[in-house]
């Protein structure tokens, strides 16, 4: 099965900072990658699918890029409400594995 | 509007089974599938499986495929996840989420806490 890794596992940044999270697949998955945000105590929320397509209603400060094995989620200007964990997920074929997550908080 | 509402908290003994429901509304039920994802306390997300509400086709994670049963009831627009042979390792919050095809779930329910304890 294809495995996903994420880096960093956690980060602390200031409000307004640019934040970048990386997801790497053990084999190429074309652009079949999604990103989710999970705020503390809440259900996950879809941010980006198809590696770079913003889910309707998601703020434009979130963006995704990449293809093949290397993917990036960028928050252009970190806001207090962005605190939580971020997960990538492959969706090219089952199993639709999640990455281990990146925890983001405010410095 | 799209709504997914799961059944409430469960406490089970080791070896028992649990069945979690996910009531859907606000969209055409049979146009979608439902993914099930669980999250153990303090841990990440684990994809369990997916079921088509159109034809009942399922895709299951290898770790759980011998113990999990996914079903849907189109008459009540409800998806179900049954997990058998519970152990303490199955203590987690279980989520259902709407997924077009078998891809990115776009709406998630609130989650159901299942605690397995003797």
pLDDT at A105: 96
Residue B88: name the closest of B68, B118, B65 by CA: B118
For the record, the structure tokens of A73 come out as 């989620």
* Arithmetic mean of pLDDT, B7-19: 97
In chain B, what's the furthest Cα-to-Cα distance?
41
Residue B30's φ and ψ, nearest 5 degrees, are -80, 0
pLDDT at B102 over 80: no
A26 vs A3, A73, A93, B1, CA distance in Å?
5, 18, 14, 38
Q: What is the pLDDT of residues A59-86, one digit of tens each?
A: 999 999 999 999 999 999 999 999 999 9
Q: Give the integer Cα–Cα distance in Å for B108 and B6.
A: 10
pLDDT at B115: 98
Q: Does B106 touch chain A (CB under 8 A)?
A: yes
Q: Does B2 touch chain A (CB under 8 A)?
A: no
Q: Give the integer Cα–Cα distance in Å for B71 and B80.
A: 5
pLDDT at A2: 93
Q: Which residues contact A70 (CB under 8 A, 6 or more apart)?
A: A22, A23, A24, A25
Kindly state the DSSP code that residue A55 receives in the 8-state scheme.
Answer: P
Find the closest chain B residue to A94 by CA distance.
Answer: B59
Find the closest chain A residue to B109 by CA distance.
Answer: A43
Residue A15: name the closest of A86, A102, A59, A77 by CA: A77
Q: Which residues contact A13 (CB under 8 A, 6 or more apart)?
A: A19, A78, A104, A106, A107
pLDDT at A23 over 80: yes
pLDDT at B103 over 80: no
Quote the percentage of chain B above a pLDDT of 70: 99
Q: Give the integer Cα–Cα distance in Å for A20 and A23.
A: 10
Find the closest chain A residue to B62 by CA distance.
Answer: A95
Q: What is the pLDDT of residues B84-93, one digit of tens each?
A: 999 999 999 9
Cβ–Cβ gap B103/A94 under 8 Å: no
Q: What is the pLDDT of residues B47-59, one digit of tens each?
A: 999 999 999 999 9
pLDDT at B100 over 90: no
């Amino acid at each position: 099965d294809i495995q996903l890794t994420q880096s960093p596992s956690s980060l602390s940044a200031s409000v307004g900072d640019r934040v970048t999270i990386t997801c790497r697949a053990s084999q190429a998955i074309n652009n079949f990658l999604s990103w989710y945000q999970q705020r503390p105590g809440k259900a996950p929320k879809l941010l980006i699918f198809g590696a770079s397509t913003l889910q309707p209603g998601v703020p434009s400060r979130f963006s995704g890029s990449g293809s093949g094995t290397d993917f990036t989620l960028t928050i252009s200007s970190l806001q207090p409400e962005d605190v939580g964990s971020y997960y990538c997920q492959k969706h090219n074929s089952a199993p639709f594995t999640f990455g281990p997550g990146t925890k983001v908080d405010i410095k | 509007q799209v709504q997914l509402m799961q059944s409430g908290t469960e406490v089970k003994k080791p070896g028992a089974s649990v069945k979690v429901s996910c009531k859907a509304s606000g969209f055409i039920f049979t146009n979608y599938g439902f993914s099930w994802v669980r999250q153990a306390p303090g841990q990440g997300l684990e994809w369990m499986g997916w079921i088509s509400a159109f034809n009942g086709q399922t895709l299951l994670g290898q770790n759980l495929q011998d113990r999990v049963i996914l079903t849907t009831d189109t008459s009540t627009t409800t998806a179900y996840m049954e997990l058998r042979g519970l152990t303490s390792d199955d203590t987690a919050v279980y989520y259902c989420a709407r997924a077009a095809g078998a891809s990115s779930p776009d709406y998630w329910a609130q989650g159901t806490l299942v605690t397995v304890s003797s």
